[in-house]
Structure 1
């Protein structure tokens, strides 16, 4: 009898605890989707029913007139901000309240990976951002374009050979393989100073480790959410998100390259060189206007080896998965929209004639239609489904709607998200949002895009530091590929797109299959 009494007491206590936890939004009149006890609003993701983007879009569309709405990750309340004035306040004007990202990787669990630029907080983040910014100036991009072109030439040569050897004179392939191998080789060259040909040497260790590190499979997805919401439990259990062999490989690559260059006095304009300068405590300043909001300053901090290796690692993951995904969806949309592909090809050939068969950073940046195409891909298939911040001191965000009689206070340690996927697919801001239409970004139309409704690389001082590199790499790859290859749908092409729910990444269910054919 005593046992059953205690069971009833414990159940009653749990019910009261959950009721108190899940009344966080309702107490202030904030709309939210009903949570499942203990799991919150993660149920459909954890059971692989929805992709993260599906949930963001559903929540965004459920309450279109609210300034902000609520979401629960397990027991943690997350505020989803829809109102553009609030977005501006959080990301720019009141930035110091929301200086940091939520911890995707806890440095106490993963001391190597938890020290990357995305995870660093407060003054350490400011110092590291200031240290890395010189690697991403226009001047540095100009120096890196030849490395990208070299990788692209090898890719085209291999593709031509495979197509000519095929009986059909075309090649049906999962273009995700193509874009990840290209991105892998570009990152290896531009960041690590290593020459790799993943199109020929398909099982090279650098590529295999890259796939392992950036797959973000279901296990890693769950661990990410647990790390964000229950960091102390993760610390106690000493659960690591990435395999030790992967971390060891990249650390050895970074430190080994640094040591070799120092011994042989090798200077190469890439990320490794910048990290070597940072290790010496060299001064660095901000590269873009947006970053001046934080304040330009000289950094006299001397970074540890793990700190420097962590920056190279996160840069690799972003380049391997994020950029390859952008390339993949660009090829997909061009295959399904042959008129757009034809117009882009015409601009490429016009540029070829104008520059006598050569192209560089300056000429490729002047290609208006190419920029329009990439901009539209970033709108429709933005790799950043949502922007996240964590509140570092209590913040009064005001009332969720006119009917509320109580302000909502975001408490220190609670999360905030900006639903990029929902904003980019809102017909009020982007008419016929599921249509792939580069003309939205033409000189005649781009003024119609309202401020804060197009944010593929984030907003404010904590925007994506590698956006200039990403855009440059995608443009170079697309230029070289379309110059020689025509892409079209094949029997295996998935129409319409359904995103795979077994990963956090943007990955098509059924593969990214397209047909590659040599141009006449």
Structure 2
């Protein structure tokens, strides 16, 4: 009996091992240089075990074969290709893009109708549709009309700084206040008053969305490494409900009172109103606007705080940048979209920080 049990366990162990390692020679057969994967985890063991950031791991992978145009790796059992060659990147992103528009990061629309409709996680035709909605919002004409909205936020920010000159400000929090108000105004057409009210509802919702928790970390890991079993809502229910009500109230108010505004929500309203049947559902409108919220709030505030940090360290750069800006504008009212493009040193500072 014991022999039979050991034999069964040994057989099952061999089958499991063969199943886990079945694809480990995939890149070898393809003639692509690759990194040897570990059992169970592939090449992303430290990411899965939360020992390191996914960006750090991919950076190490990228530089592991500096002479190669691409590096083969494994996400668990799934082969993945990390592209290094600029020519290959152009081929994937431009020439043969129709074959490469799927997304490794996946959220089911039925599980999370808000994030599930975002172009960051949609695939195939759904991605094309959502991208076609967002791209026109970033044209020069659309950005130009949003500049006055941003300038209003800048005035609130200046007033806030002047009232707190004798205090130490938390840089990350301060930049988050700015991007929250800009996104609220340019996307939703509302004044969130983050600089005037630290407990403003919009500000609290933005903090809640990006607050790292065990639950959200687990949801991210599952959607990345095991999307078929990831049945987790990323956006908290109270946050999604807040934005649903915000969209509903703003939508109804504008239609009832004939109010129009130069923001992203207005573009979606216009598309729905000029057709007999609405083009976008309520969930889609919330998802599309929240995509700008995700993209504009956290990423932009992080970039700004890094720039401010570098300027604080490098007084020579700070002085030169200030001189360029002061020579171009007497005050905030003089600032326009086109004139911002005539500041080469500002562009260099921002581009350098991006890198």
CA contact under 8 A between 2:21 and 2:39: conserved in structure 1?
no
| Residue from 334, 349, 352 that aligns with 1:358 | 334
Q: Which residue matches 2:140?
A: 138
CA contact under 8 A between 1:45 and 1:52: conserved in structure 2?
yes
What are the superposed Cα offsets for residues 55-106 of structure 1, whole Å, 9 maximum, x if unpaired?
1221111111112112222222211011122111111111111123333322
Distance change in 2, residues 1:266/1:377 (3 Å): same
CA contact under 8 A between 2:113 and 2:287: conserved in structure 1?
no
CA contact under 8 A between 1:33 and 1:41: conserved in structure 2?
yes
Distance change in 2, residues 1:336/1:83 (3 Å): same
Q: 2:49 and 2:14 mapped to 1: Cα distance?
A: 27
Distance change in 2, residues 1:271/1:361 (3 Å): same
Greater relative CO, 1 or 2 (CA 8 Å, sep 6+): 1
What are the superposed Cα offsets for residues 191-242 of structure 1, whole Å, 9 maximum, x if unpaired?
11111221231122211111221345554344223223322222xxx32223
| Residue from 344, 348, 351 that aligns with 1:368 | 344
Q: Which residue matches 2:294?
A: 317
Task: Please list every run of 5 or more consecutive structure 2 residues that lacks an aligned counterpart in the other structure.
Answer: none
Q: 1:301 and 1:128 mapped to 2: Cα distance?
A: 15
| Residue from 26, 29, 48 that aligns with 1:27 | 29
Task: Please list every run of 5 or more consecutive structure 1 residues that lacks an aligned counterpart in the other structure.
Answer: 283-299, 380-520
Q: Which residue matches 2:61?
A: 59
Q: Which residue matches 1:223?
A: 219
| Residue from 100, 103, 120 that aligns with 1:101 | 103
Q: Which residue matches 2:303?
A: 326
Whichever structure has more strand as a proportion of its residues is 1
Q: 1:75 and 1:211 mapped to 2: Cα distance?
A: 36
Q: 1:127 and 1:104 mapped to 2: Cα distance?
A: 16
Q: 1:131 and 1:196 mapped to 2: Cα distance?
A: 25
SS of residue paired to 2:81: strand
What does residue range 37-116 of structure 1 map to in structure 2 within 5 Å? 37-116=39-118
* Length, aligned pairs only: 352
SS of residue paired to 2:224: helix
CA contact under 8 A between 1:254 and 1:312: conserved in structure 2?
no
Q: Which residue matches 2:232?
A: 239
CA drift of 1:343 comes to 0.3
Whichever structure has more helix as a proportion of its residues is 2
Distance change in 2, residues 1:120/1:279 (3 Å): farther
Q: TM-score, normalised by structure 1?
A: 0.64
CA contact under 8 A between 1:182 and 1:198: conserved in structure 2?
yes
Q: 1:109 and 1:3 mapped to 2: Cα distance?
A: 42
CA drift of 1:31 comes to 2.9
SS of residue paired to 2:72: strand
Q: 2:35 and 2:134 mapped to 1: Cα distance?
A: 40
Distance change in 2, residues 1:106/1:357 (3 Å): closer
Q: 2:28 and 2:216 mapped to 1: Cα distance?
A: 32
Q: Which residue matches 2:322?
A: 345
Q: TM-score, normalised by structure 2?
A: 0.91
| Residue from 335, 344, 348 that aligns with 2:312 | 335
CA contact under 8 A between 1:112 and 1:306: conserved in structure 2?
yes
Q: Which moved more, 1:125-134 or 1:262-271?
A: 125-134
Q: 2:13 and 2:220 mapped to 1: Cα distance?
A: 29
Distance change in 2, residues 1:6/1:279 (3 Å): farther
